[in-house]
Amino acid sequence: MLIERKWKKWVYFYVPLAAFIVFALFPFYWMAVTAFRPDAELYHTWRQANATPFWTLHPTLEHVEGLLRTTAFLQWLWNTMLIAIVSTVISLICGTFAGYALARLKFRGSEFLGTAIFITYLVPQTLLFIPLADIIRDMHLGNTPWALMLTYPTFLIPFCTWLLMGYFKTIPKELEECARIDGATRFGAMVWIIFPVAVPGILSAGIFAFTLSWNEFIYALVFMASAEQKTVPVGVVSELVRGDIFFWGQLMAGALLGSVPVAIVYSFFVEYYVTGMTGSVKG
Amino acid sequence: MGEAGEFVGLDNFTKAWEDTIFQTAFKNTVFYTFWATIFKLVLGMWLALLLNRSFPFKRIVRASMLLPFIVPTVLSAWAWRWMFDPTFSVMNWSLYHMGLISDRLPFLSDGDWAMWCAVVVNTWRGMPFFAITLLAGLQTISPELHEASALDGANAWNRFWHVTWPLLLPVTLVVVVFSVIQTFSDFQLIYVLTGGGPANSTHLIATYAYQIGVGSGLLGEGAALSLFMFPVLFAVVWAQLRSLKRMDNA
């Protein structure tokens, strides 16, 4: 081991790490403080003296109540959840089969197809939202959850396929060969032998896909028009600024409550999420 | 909308190219991508090196460092916008009461300041992605390499520059490419922070395409604007695939 003097460890390690933690987490702290701070305390201008600038002694639920009373926030939560789950499941099913095929079956153009999927997965949503808006309109899906359930897989399927293709390649071929020798069909070996082994990979892809669809913004913004069809990100942005007035307490309450579900899902599956993330950039 | 379109050739593209707001948006996008990527790489690498050591509560710290990346960007961008608020900014408040400023800083009310603010927020959001993926790369580097070079008298900086950095280069390259694509095509952050204002000075290609295509309903022109991202992104991806191939062969 490399030996280090104590003061050096403070200067080079603890202080920078603490600075990173403050930088990364302060906005969330501020979001939470604002969400529970009464309006009278909230609107202190930058020059005014303030006895409790960084916390509050009078926490209140008025903003949360206001949010639930004046907007369809719970409906947005439900929409976001439903859309994220359905599009994740669709993408996982397609991605698992496609990933297996690309990893295992040798067919003409399989290499090219793999690269093509990788490129598709890199295409940003902001490049496609206008043409997709046109398609959604032609199919009369605008303003229905299907508009998002069917468009999110356009970036989730390539992602899941790419990730799972990498995962399937790490599973030894011998495993299914044994099953084939014992009389299993190729399909049977895939479903009953390989898929169970691949569960951690599928879970990683699923968690990552779920957070991606929870966070998606531009498609939801363009395809959803009426207030009760919106997802949380779009609803918070578009319904909580009325005219020129920002309801900061409610905005922060909405931001906080909209972040909590995805943070909870994440906290249960941190390791899978990290695997998904590091796997997503592997060539 | 609704009636049959008419083929207009490259009209929408030439129109975009001559549009001064688009030119600003293009410059902004390059500026934003360039600086945010540099900051994310430097800070992300630093954070990865810190997280690669053992310390108490490591798992919790590592998990919480990813929060900016997990939470929906538009929602966290609202928290930043509130922190940058012209009248109620907590940062102006703190700096003023520490005696560091005598007048408030124009975080989002000045075009140049606002672009830098956007770079800061983007760095905040993307840094964890760099840190965690680079950390995964760091963990594959054997500590013996470091010990050997330390015995040879290399200091920490030399060890990083001559041992860690070259070994980490393939991962770094891929992460940078991902980040460049995401940042170049970014929409959410500017949409929430400034909406392209003041006076259209902070538009990115994507936000301007949205404003024209959806806000003004000129679908064709908006689509042409967003397609200007394509050549840049294509070049980036092409370069990545090439260098990945070369590394595979090496």
Digit-coded pLDDT (tens) for B166-208? 999 888 988 998 899 999 999 999 999 999 889 999 999 999 9
B218 CB neighbours in chain A (<8 A) are: none
Cα separation, B204 vs B186, whole angstroms: 8
pLDDT at residue B245 is higher than 80: no
How sure is the predictor about B1, in pLDDT bands with cuts at 50, 70 and 90? Answer: very low
Q: Where are the domains of chain A?
A: 65-280
Length of chain B, in residues: 250
A236/B75 touch (CB, cutoff 8 Å), yes or no: yes
Q: Which two tokens stand for residue B214?
A: 């959806």
Q: Helix, strand, or coil here: A245?
A: strand
Q: What is the pLDDT of residue B26?
A: 95
Any residues with CB less than 8 A from the CB of A148 and at least 6 apart, and which? A83, A87, A213, A216, A219, A220, A223, A224, A231
A259 CB neighbours in chain B (<8 A) are: 71-72, 75-76
Q: Is B93 in CB contact (< 8 Å) with chain A?
A: yes
A112 CB neighbours in chain B (<8 A) are: none
Q: Which fold has domain B11-249?
A: MetI-like fold (1.10.3720)
User: Residue holding tokens 């590091």?
Assistant: A278
The Cα of B149 is separated from the nearest Cα of chain A by a number of Å equal to 11
- pLDDT tens by residue, B7-39: 777 888 888 888 899 999 999 999 999 999 999
The Cα of B128 is separated from the nearest Cα of chain A by a number of Å equal to 9
A21/B90 touch (CB, cutoff 8 Å), yes or no: no
B230 CB neighbours in chain A (<8 A) are: 127
Q: Which two tokens stand for residue A79?
A: 């929409």
Q: How many CB atoms lie within 10 A of CB A276?
A: 24
- pLDDT tens by residue, A133-190: 989 999 999 899 999 999 999 999 999 999 999 999 999 989 888 888 988 898 999 9
A46/B209 touch (CB, cutoff 8 Å), yes or no: no
A125 CB neighbours in chain B (<8 A) are: 185, 187
A262 CB neighbours in chain B (<8 A) are: 70-72
A-to-B residue pairs, Cβ atoms closer than 8 angstroms: 205
pLDDT at residue A2 is higher than 70: no
Nearest to B72 among A24, A214, A267 (CB): A214
How sure is the predictor about A102, in pLDDT bands with cuts at 50, 70 and 90? Answer: very high
User: Residue holding tokens 């060539």?
Assistant: A283
Cα separation, A34 vs B38, whole angstroms: 32
The Cα of B8 is separated from the nearest Cα of chain A by a number of Å equal to 16
Q: How many CB atoms lie within 10 A of CB B39?
A: 18
The Cα of A272 is separated from the nearest Cα of chain B by a number of Å equal to 12
- pLDDT tens by residue, B133-165: 999 999 888 888 888 888 888 888 888 898 899
The Cα of A17 is separated from the nearest Cα of chain B by a number of Å equal to 7
CA distances to A63, A205, A211, B208 from A269, in Å: 31, 11, 11, 37
Q: Is A152 in CB contact (< 8 Å) with chain B?
A: no
Q: Mean of the pLDDT values across residues A59-76?
A: 92
Domain A65-280 CATH (choose: 3.40.1410.10, 1.10.3720.10, 3.40.640.10, 1.10.287.3510): 1.10.3720.10
Q: Mean of the pLDDT values across residues B218-242?
A: 88
CA distances to A10, A95, B44, B231 from A5, in Å: 9, 51, 25, 52
The Cα of A211 is separated from the nearest Cα of chain B by a number of Å equal to 7
Nearest to A24 among B65, B92, B150 (CB): B65
Q: Is A254 in CB contact (< 8 Å) with chain B?
A: yes
Q: What is the pLDDT of residue A57?
A: 84
Q: Are A151 and A221 in contact (CB under 8 A)?
A: no
Calculate the CA dihedral of residues A146, A151, A152, A153 and round it to 10 degrees. Answer: 100
Q: What is the pLDDT of residue A50?
A: 76
Q: Is A87 in CB contact (< 8 Å) with chain B?
A: no
Q: Which residues pair with A245 in a beta bridge?
A: A242
Cα separation, A269 vs B63, whole angstroms: 10
A13/B55 touch (CB, cutoff 8 Å), yes or no: yes
Cα separation, A124 vs B247, whole angstroms: 26
Nearest to A46 among B96, B136, B244 (CB): B96
Any residues with CB less than 8 A from the CB of B91 and at least 6 apart, and which? B83, B84, B105, B107
pLDDT at residue A1 is higher than 60: no
What are all long-range contacts of A102-110, with beta carbons under 8 Å and residues at least 24 apart? A102/A161, A102/A165, A103/A164, A103/A165, A103/A166, A103/A168, A103/A169, A104/A168, A104/A173, A104/A190
Nearest to B133 among A28, A42, A281 (CB): A281
- pLDDT tens by residue, B70-126: 999 999 999 999 999 888 888 888 888 888 888 888 899 898 999 999 999 999 999
Q: Helix, strand, or coil here: A180?
A: helix
How sure is the predictor about B250, in pLDDT bands with cuts at 50, 70 and 90? Answer: low
Nearest to A126 among B74, B90, B187 (CB): B187
Nearest to A278 among B67, B136, B222 (CB): B136
The better pLDDT of the pair B131, B240 is held by B131
Nearest to B230 among A127, A133, A273 (CB): A127
B171/A2 touch (CB, cutoff 8 Å), yes or no: no
Q: Is B74 in CB contact (< 8 Å) with chain A?
A: yes
Q: What is the pLDDT of residue B24?
A: 95
B79/A254 touch (CB, cutoff 8 Å), yes or no: no
Q: Are B203 and B195 in contact (CB under 8 A)?
A: no
Our CA angle for A218, A219, A224, nearest 5°, is 110
Please name the residue of chain B whose CA is at the shortest distance from the CA of residue A258: B75
Q: What is the pLDDT of residue B2?
A: 45
A115 CB neighbours in chain B (<8 A) are: 241
A28 CB neighbours in chain B (<8 A) are: 67, 71, 76, 79
Nearest to B50 among A16, A211, A234 (CB): A16
Q: Where are the domains of chain B?
A: 11-249
